Amino acid sequence: MDHAADAALVLSFNDARADLAHAGGKGANLARMYQAGLPVPTGFVIATAAYRAYAQANNLAAVIERAMAGLDPHDGDGNQADDLSLQVLERAAGVIRTAFAAGRMSQALPGAILSAYGDLGRPAVAVRSSATAEDLPELSFAGQQDTYLNIIGDDALLRAVVGCWSSLWTARAIGYRLRNRIDHEDVALAVVIQRLVPAEAAGVMFTANPLNGRRTETVIDATLGLGEALVAGQVEPDHYVIDGTTGRVLSRRMGSKALSIRPQEGGGTVQITEQAHTRSALPDSALADLVRLGARVAQLYQAPQDIEWAYAEGRIYLLQARPITSLFPVPEGAAADPLDVYFSFGAVQGLFDPITPLGRDALAGFMAGGARLLVDPTATIETQQVAFNAAERIWARCTPLLRNKLGRIFVSHFVPVIEPGIAQAFAQVIRNPRMGKGGLPSPRTVLSLARLLVPVWGKLAAALVHPERSRGMAERAAETYLATIAARRQRARTLAEQIDLFEEAFIGAMAVIVKQYGPRIGAGLASMNRLLAMAEHYLPALDGRLALVRGLPHNVTTEMDLVLWATAQQIGTGAGARQALLAADSRTLADQYLNGELPPVAQRAIAAFLARYGVRGLAEIDLGRPRWREDPAQIMQILQSYLRIEDENLAPDAVFARGEQVAAATLAELQAAVRRTPLGAAKARLVGWVAARMRALAGLRESPKFLMIRIMGIIREMLLETGAELVRGGQLVRRDDLFYLHLNELRALAAGYAIDWQALVAQRRASYARERLRRQLPRVLLSDGQVLYEGTAARPGLGDGAIVGSPVSPGVVEGVVRVVHDPHQANLHPGEILVCPGTDPSWTPLFLAAGGLVTEVGGLMTHGSVVAREYGIPAVVGVHQVTQRLRTGQRVRVDGTRGEIVVVED
C-alpha cells in the first residue's frame, strides 16, 4: 500500500508509526502482533489524525465542551463519576453522537480510506474502534466503543467509521474516563479495518486466570460463529482452564451455546439458534494451538493478555490483545516455581495507600536489619529478601516460616492476634500441596535463632521478674539510639553522606526493636494471653473479658491522645485562644500556626505537642508522606472538636480513667471467681501477678513503631533540606520529589549522573496517583499470581445476615454508619459508627466521637483495636470489603464481643 500523501491518515499494520498515539490501543497491538509474525488478519488503521480532522472540520470540540459542562471528575475522593446518573451521561452522549452523525468528511478522508480498502480487495471487513486511552496496562476500555462486523461496500464502510468515531462518546466511555480522571481532551480514536474471518468458532483467552490470579493457568471461553455473542454476554460458552506449562486441561465445562452470530449475505450479521450443548466449539488440537499462541503473545508483551480469537478452516486468528488489567501485580522478581508466599505489610499497619519509592526503601531497611539478625549478616536494602514491591506497596516474603514446622507453630499462635484475616489465608496456603508437609529448619537457621533468642529469652524472663525496671531499660536503649542518629544527622552534610546514614539508621533500628523491645513486649503479650485464657476458663459467661486489657499504661498512642487533650485544655484557658481556634477552618489555622500567628497560648501549646508528636501523620509508616509538623491541619481539626466537648464524661482523660476502673473491677471479679476453686488463694495471687506484668509491659506494643516513626522524622527532615537545595539547583521541582526516587537513584543523583530527574519524578507521581484509586487489596499473594482477599471467616452461632469480623473491643452499640477513607476529610458526628479500611495512630483522635469502629484489616493488638478498648468503643476488625458492603447513612448494630455487625435500618 502506498499512500504517501495520506500517510498521517491511513497506516498499514507494517507501518512503524502504528503506535498508541496514531493507531490507538487496539490498532497498535494488532500492528505489533502482525509485525511479530502472529496470525493476525490483514488490514489497516485509520489514524487518530483522521478523527481529529473530522472533529475540527465539523466544529465538534464546541459541541463536546457544551455537553460535558458540569461533569467534573475531580471531587475529594476522585469518585464523583460514580455519583453521576446514567441519565445525565446518556444525555451528554446523545448530543455528541448526534453531532458526529450529522458531520461531513473533508475531501481527503474518503479517498484515503477507500484507497486502502481497495488495496485489501474490498472484502467483507470488521470495523473496530481503537482509542488512544484503551488497552493500557493499568486501564481497560474493553467494550466501551463500537464494533461493526461484515461491512461490505464503500458507503457502508464510511458510515461505520463515523459510527466508531462517535462511540468515543458513549455514556459508558464518558463515565469510565471521569472515574479514572482521564482528560477527555487527551483521547482520540483510530479505527481498525480488518478482513472479516468467517469464524466457525470464536472467543476469548486469558493467559492468566482472572479469577484467582494464577499466571500458570490459561482460561478459554469458546462459542460458535462470530465472537460478538460472547462479548455481549448473550451466550453461555464452553469454558476451559488449562495448565499453561503442561497443556493439561484442568477443567472443562460445556456451555449451551444456544445461539450464534453469523455473517449474512450482503453485509451485517444474523442470529441463529443452535443445538450445541453437547458438542465442543473447538477440537482439542485447536485448544493446544490457542495456548501456544497465547504464550507467544504474553511473551511478546511481557505481561498476561486478554486475547480475542477466531477459528476458521483449521486455523486460529488473533483479533485483539490487551493486558488483563484486573490482575493484581505479582511481587517484583517473583517466580511461580518454587511457590513463594507474601503478606500485605499495609494490612498489618492499617495502610491501604501505596508507598512512595523511598518510603519502600526505608521499610526494606528495617527488614534488612531483621535479616541481618536472623539469616544474612550482610543484608542491605538492595539485597534483602523480605520486603518486595507489588502495586507500589510492601509485601513481606514469609515462605521460610510456612515451609517448616516451627514457623507454622509461630504463625498459628501470633498472627491471629496481629491480623486474623492473614492468619486464615496462611492456613489455606499451608494446605496447598506445593508448600510441602513442613520440615524442620536447617541447622544454620537453628544456630542463628539460638544466637538471637537465648539472650532475648533471658531478657524476657528478667522482664517477668522486674517489669518496671526492664521496661525502663528498653526505653533508655531506644532514646540512646535516637540520640546517636540525630547526632549523625548533624554531621551528614552531603547527599552521599545522608544516603549512608539513611541505610545505617533504618537497618540498625531493628536490633533495638528485636533485642530491647522484643522480650519486654513478648512478656507483656504472653501475660495478656495467659490472663485472657484464665478469664475464659474461670468466667466462661463473661462476655467482656477484653475489659481486662482496658486502660493499659505506657502506650504511646494513648499517651499522645491524652497530651493532645491536655493541649486543648490549655488553649481553652487562654484569653481569646479558644474563640480564635473555633472561628477559623483547620487549613487557615494550620497556616497561622506555621507563620507564628496564633494567639500566644495556642501557639506555645501546639508547638509543645508537635515537638514530641509532630513526626506523626497520616500513613506515617511511609517516609514520603507529610508529618503533622509540616501540615498540622488535622491536629487543628481535632483540637476544634476537643474544644467543643462540654460533657466531662467524654473527655479522653475521663474515658481512660474509666477504662482503668473497668479493668480493675473485671480483674477483681476474676480473682473472686478463682478463689472459689481449690487452691483458690494461690491462684488468685497468680492472676494478680500476671495482670501486673501485662499492665507494666503490654502497652509497649506501640513503642517499636513510634521508634521507627521518630527515625523517619530525623531522616525526612534532613532529606527535605537537601531537596530544597536540589530545587534551587534545578534538578527537582519540589523539595519532596526526593521521596519518589529510590535509594540507588539518589546515589546516582549525588554522583551527578545526567538523568532527567524531573521527568522520572513526574512519572512516579502519576503512577502513585493511579494506585491510590485502588480500593481492594489482597491480604496474601502467591508468586504464581494467586491472591487471597478474604477477611475473617463466618463462625457458627452468629445471627442470620450478620457481617462478621474479629471482636477486639467488647460491647454492643447501635449507630449510623459513616464510611471514611481519609481522616483529614472525616466529618464524623458523635455516636456514628466509624467504618474505614484500617487505622494508624493518626486516626485514633477520631475515636472520641465514634460510637463504634469497624475496619477491613486489623487484629487484637493493632493500633485502632488498642485505642478502641481504651475508649470503651465496641470494635470489630478484619471485615472483608466492609467499606463497600456498608454505606454512609445505614443504621447498624456493632457487637464487639461476638464480632458481628447487623444492618438494622437500610
In 3D, which of 286, 310, 316 has the Cα closest to residue 223? 310
Q: E strands within 275-350?
A: 305-312, 315-323, 341-344
Catalytic residues: 863
Burial of 607 (0-12, 13-18, 19+ CB in 10 A): middle
| DSSP assigned state of 861 | T
Classify 267 as helix, strand or coil: coil
Q: How far is CA 283 from CA 286, 287, 312, 315, 578, in A?
A: 5, 7, 12, 11, 79
Q: Is the dihedral of CA 49, 53, 56, 58 positive or negative?
A: negative
CA 838 vs CA 328, 350, 416, 855: distances in Å:
20, 4, 16, 5
Sign of CA dihedral 759, 765, 769, 774: positive
**Under 8 Å CB-to-CB from 730, ≥6 apart: which residues?**
none
Strand pairing report for 812-819 and 387-390: unpaired
Q: Are strands 201-206 and 189-195 parallel, antiparallel or unpaired?
A: unpaired
The residues pairing with 224 across neighbouring beta strands, listed in sequence order, are: 201
Q: Reduced to 3 states, what is the DSSP secondary structure of residue 901? A: strand
Q: How far apart are CA 384 and CA 430, in angstroms?
A: 24
Q: Give the H/E segment covering residue 526.
A: helix 518-538
Distance between CA atoms of residues 778 and 769, nearest Å: 19
| Cell (9 digits) for 100 | 458526529
CA distance 322 to 326: 12
- What count of other Cβ atoms lies within 10 Å of the Cβ of residue 429? 21
Give the relative orientation of helices 863-871 and 652-675 as an angle to the nearest 10 degrees: 90
35: enclosing H helix or E strand? helix 20-35
525 and 696 in contact (C-beta within 8 Å)?
no
C-alpha span between 819 and 568 (Å, rounded)? 27
C-alpha of 162 from chain center: 40
Ordered strands of the 393-397 beta sheet: 387-390, 393-397, 341-344, 780-782, 787-788
Strand spans (E) along 753-899: 780-782, 787-788, 803-804, 806-809, 812-819, 833-836, 852-855, 875-877, 891-895
State the DSSP string of 118-136: HHHTS--EEEEEEETTSSB
Place of cell 445525565: 88
As a whole number of Å, the CA-based R_g of the chain is: 31
- Using the 8-state DSSP alphabet, how is residue 139 labeled? B
- What does DSSP assign to residue 167? G
Q: Quick one: 271 exposed, middle or buried, by C-beta within 10 A (0-12, 13-18, 19+)?
A: middle
Q: Rounded CA gap, 346 and 396, in Å?
A: 10
Closest CA to 150 of 116, 114, 193: 193
What is d(CA 416, CA 101) in angstroms, rounded to the nearest whole number? Answer: 61
